[in-house]
Amino acid sequence: GRGRPWEIKKVQTTCPYCGTGCNFDLNVKNGKVIGVTSNLSAPVNGRALCVKGRFGMDMIYNSNRLATPLIRKDGVLVPAEWDEALNLVATKFREIKETHGANALAALSSAHCTNEENYLMQKFMRAVIGTNNIDHCARVCHAPTVAGLAVSFGSGAATNSFEEIPDAQVMFVIGANPTEAHPVVGTKMKQALAKGAKLIVVDPRQIELAECSDLYLRLRAGTDVALINGIMNIILANGWEDRKFISERTEGFAEFQDNIKNYPPDVVSRITGVPEEQLVEAARIYATADRAMIFYTLGITEHTTGTDNVMSLANLAMLTGNIGKKYSGVNPLRGQNNVQGSCDMGALPGDYPGYQKVINTEVRKKFEKAWGVTLDPDMGIMLPDMFAAAISKKLRAMYVMGEDPVVTDADANHVRKGLESLDFLVVQDIFMSETAKMADVVLPGASFAEKTGTFTNAERRIQMVNKAIEPIGNAKADGEIISELANRMGYPFSYDSVEEVMEEVASLTPLYGGVTHQRLGTQGLQWPVPSVDHPGSKVLHQESFTRGKGLFVSVAFQEANELPDEEYPFLLNTGRKLSHYNVFTQNSEALGTYSPEELAEINPQDACRLGIKEGERVKLASRRGALETKITITDRVPEGMVFMTFHYMDTPTNVLTNGASDKVSKTYEYKACGVQISKIA
Ligand code: SF4
């Protein structure tokens, strides 16, 4: 039964799925979460919640939850006491550090964990182990955002706020599928449409929003730079640019303008497959509106040209003065609940908390003084390079917290080989993941319902995560586990509370300078929050850019790394479904009932030509691996494209994807590679 209302405790907290950052109340009875109810004071979503927030919390009690530490003995993972497991990890880490040096160890931090835990993890690797080898899954999603927007504007985060969306005049949505991947953001966009906003959708796949758009551009996958340059060429040809903004607020315009001359509409139309008149219409709608907002996600970033794609969008916003004011801006929709926060906290090989660079001597001295140690002056290894480093024995041990790279990283067979080559692998997770199955020691972490801390959403809002129940079984909050390891390695982490960790973050991180748990309360604060009396920041770059002047960057079009050819004639594109979140929701039975299996999408023309029927199982192969999957036939995808999600363990899409990565940020090209389809005899 659901109990009588007066027996139920309600705990406001932040959703553990996507980066929209919805709040809701966990309903707790007798120490158990029995349901979720809306909380009207939730700052982002009010009463609204998507299917994942509403029904996905049964994952807390899934039978796949880890409830006790495990140690590999004679090849098998067997239950162990905490002391034995932690002592073993500390001893092994110390041995490897002494024999091979600190840089033979690396860690993956987690966008599922709190800011405080990410802070502790990077401090553990830097101050206790002595290496900058720390990274996390932002590397495989929005690292090009962090890198690209930092070059253009000086800070790599969304410029505006979600509360502006219902009153937007123009929305330019490129490489994003909000109604499925960020559903509450999608709802806000539909509210804007109902009030008369114009919507431009750019995507090779005809997503749901395309159907309610004023203009849908179906570009060939991976041609975003050409398309955006083409739109800017048309804007300049028609005099629709904002001359005053360009001269007062930006630099680099002359060189940029020369580059744009190479992208006249006929050339761009040939490259992208988008008709010239649609390019002109997109330029007109975006540039002639009083204000226009750009939204994008992984369709922009997960390319070998990811950082270029992001800087192109920054160019477009600056060209038309659509930045630094409400209802405008460049707005990456960050993927996971706390991927913004993991970046903010310095779970990156080149950044201390707050994007303070490890190669900057002054910054390093500040952290050396605060932490009382000598720190490595060189950048660490980025996530995609860790697997090759393991194979070459440069890396000997890894500490993976709350990530499952064997399933989520491109070219999964290469990842598996890398992890197999390690001398020692520690996985800390709430579920028995595919990566955990390979570990020497498995440490059971606590879910978001079982701990206190903060998450930072895609509009830079830092919000409270409030403990509702005790950890399941013998599990422990991830921050406590990290602290226990630090203590055992001779560098005590002696915090009396999670709040004290945030106090340390604030003292060292100007962006979070005025943040305290008490101030966050039920509404949170949007960074930068430089001081305790600062109200937070809804719109970035209002008077000047973080870097001073905005920088126009000349970007040249480049094809995807691997295009379809005779042998692999289809282009594989990947993305998400509404009812699932990465591989995480495999652990929710409720959500499993919505879309229980992979259904790879192909176009009716291709299905007809290959003689494939709706629901038929086929073999898909790329140069790197092969799998079997069911097919669905739909004109959502154009001819020549296959679309798959990566939600299902039994259809591991990433054995197919390409491990080639963006030259700046090393983000994999998940959005384009060549595959072949064959019937199963
Ligand atoms: Fe959770 Fe995102 Fe759904 Fe909101 S939109 S309930 S944050 S998954």
Strands (E), 257-350: 293-296, 330-332
Our mutation pick for probing the ligand 1 site, out of 13, 162, 184, 647, counting the most ligand atoms within 8 A of Cβ, is: 184
Question: For 490-518, what is each residue's pLDDT tens digit?
Answer: 999 999 999 999 999 999 999 999 999 99
| 104 within some domain | yes
In degrees rounded to 5, what are phi and psi of residue 200? -110, 125
Helices 224-237, 276-288: crossing angle, 10 deg rounding:
70
How many CA atoms lie less than 13 Å away from 466 in the CB half-sphere?
Answer: 20
Q: Say which CATH number the domain at 643 has.
A: 2.40.40.20
Residues 247 and 152 in one domain: yes
Choose which residue among 50, 188, 582 to substitute to test ligand 1 binding: the one with the highest number of ligand atoms within 8 A of its C-beta.
50
Q: E strands of 492-610, at which residues?
A: 525-526, 550-551, 570-575, 599-602
Distance 105 CA to ligand 1 centre (A): 35
Question: Considering the domain boundaries, does residue 544 fall inside one?
Answer: no
Q: What is the pLDDT of residues 170-209, one digit of tens each?
A: 999 999 999 888 989 999 999 999 999 999 999 999 999 9
Q: What is the CATH number of the domain that holds 268?
A: 3.40.228.10
What DSSP designation does 220 have?
A: P
100 & 25 share domain: no
Query: Does residue 439 lie in a domain region?
Result: no
> Is a pLDDT exceeding 60 seen at residue 115?
yes
Q: How many C-beta neighbours within 10 Å does residue 102 have?
A: 18
- The span from the CA of 132 to the CA of 126, in Å, is 6
Q: What CATH number did the domain enclosing 342 receive?
A: 3.40.50.740
Which pLDDT score is estimated for 598?
86
Same domain, 329 and 276: yes
Which H helix or E strand runs over 661?
strand 658-661
Strands of 506-596 (E only): list them.
525-526, 550-551, 570-575
Same domain, 669 and 637: yes
Smallest CA separation from ligand 1 atom 2, residue: 18
Q: Of all atoms in ligand 1, which is nearest to the CA of residue 49?
A: 6
Task: Kindly report the average pLDDT of the chain as a whole number.
Answer: 93
Atom of ligand 1 nearest to the CA of 54: 6
Distance (Å, whole) CA 253 – CA 239: 15
| CATH number, domain containing residue 43 | 2.20.25.90
CA of 428 to the centre of ligand 1 (A): 24
Closest atom of ligand 1 to 18 CA is 2
Last residue of a domain, one of 334, 360, 389: 334
pLDDT in tens, 353-395: 999 999 999 999 999 999 999 999 999 999 989 999 999 999 9
Q: Where is average pLDDT lowest: 227-241, 480-494, 589-603?
A: 589-603
Whether residues 192 and 116 share a domain: the answer is: no
* Boundaries of domain holding 285: 143-334
pLDDT tens digit string along 39-54?
999 999 999 999 888 9
> What sections of 24-124 are H helices per DSSP?
51-55, 82-100, 115-123
At residue 94, the 3 state secondary structure works out as helix
pTM: 0.91
Same domain, 156 and 135: no
Cα distances from 192 to residues 186, 211, 212, 293, in angstroms, run: 10, 15, 12, 12
d(CA 522, CA 106): 36
Cα 14 to ligand 1 centroid, rounded to whole Å: 9
Last residue of a domain, one of 494, 511, 526: 526
Q: Give me the pLDDT at residue 578, please.
A: 67
Encoded amino acid at 177, one letter: N
pLDDT, tens digit, 9 for 90 and up, residues 428-486? 999 999 999 999 999 999 999 999 999 999 999 999 999 999 999 999 999 999 999 99
* Average of per-residue pLDDT across 82-102: 98
End-to-end distance of the chain based on CA atoms, in angstroms?
Answer: 50
Same domain? For 504 and 610 the reply is: no
What's the maximum distance between 2 C-alpha atoms anywhere in the chain?
72
Ligand 1 atom 3: residue of nearest CA: 50
* Residue closest by Cα to atom 1 of ligand 1: 53
Cα 463 to ligand 1 centre (Å) = 14
Residue 538 backbone dihedrals phi, psi, to 5 degrees: -85, -40
Residue 354 is assigned to a structural domain of this protein: yes
**Phi/psi-derived region of residue 321, left when phi > 0, alpha when psi is between -120 and 50, beta in every other case:** left
Kindly state the percentage of the chain with pLDDT values over 90. 80
User: What is the pLDDT at residue 1?
Assistant: 45
Q: Is residue 542 part of a domain?
A: no
- Whether residue 202 sits in one domain with residue 88: no
288-333: per-residue pLDDT in tens? 999 999 999 988 888 888 899 999 999 999 999 999 999 999 999 8
Q: What's the gap in Å between 579 CA and the centre of ligand 1?
A: 10
638 domain-assigned: yes
Tell me, yes or no, whether 352 lies in a domain: yes
Distance in angstroms (rounded) separating the CA atoms of residues 457 and 336: 8
Q: Is the domain of 262 the same as that of 306?
A: yes
| Domain end (from 286, 314, 334) | 334
Cα dihedral 470, 471, 476, 480, rounded to 10, equals: -40
Beta-ladder partners of 261: none
Backbone angles phi, psi at 118, to 5 degrees: -65, -40
535-587 pLDDT, tens digit per residue, is 999 999 999 999 999 999 999 998 888 889 999 999 898 887 766 666 666 67
Domain count for the chain: 4
pLDDT at position 5: 63
Co-location of 320 and 367 in the same domain: no
Same domain, 237 and 371: no
Number of the ligand 1 atom closest to the C-alpha atom of 183: 5
CB neighbours (10 Å) of residue 499? 15
Atom of ligand 1 nearest to the CA of 184: 5
Average pLDDT over residues 512-534: 97
Ligand 1 site residues, Cβ closer than 6 angstroms? 15, 17-18, 20-22, 45, 49-50, 52-53, 182-184
pLDDT given at position 561: 86
Instruction: Report the separation in Å between the CA atom of 87 and the middle of ligand 1, taken as the mean of its atom positions.
Output: 38
Distance 102 CA to ligand 1 centre (A): 39
The candidate with the shortest Cα–Cα distance to 599, out of 575, 622, 571, 624, is 575
Residues 130 and 148 in one domain: no
Residue 656 has pLDDT above 80, yes or no: yes
Tell whether 185 is covered by a domain. yes
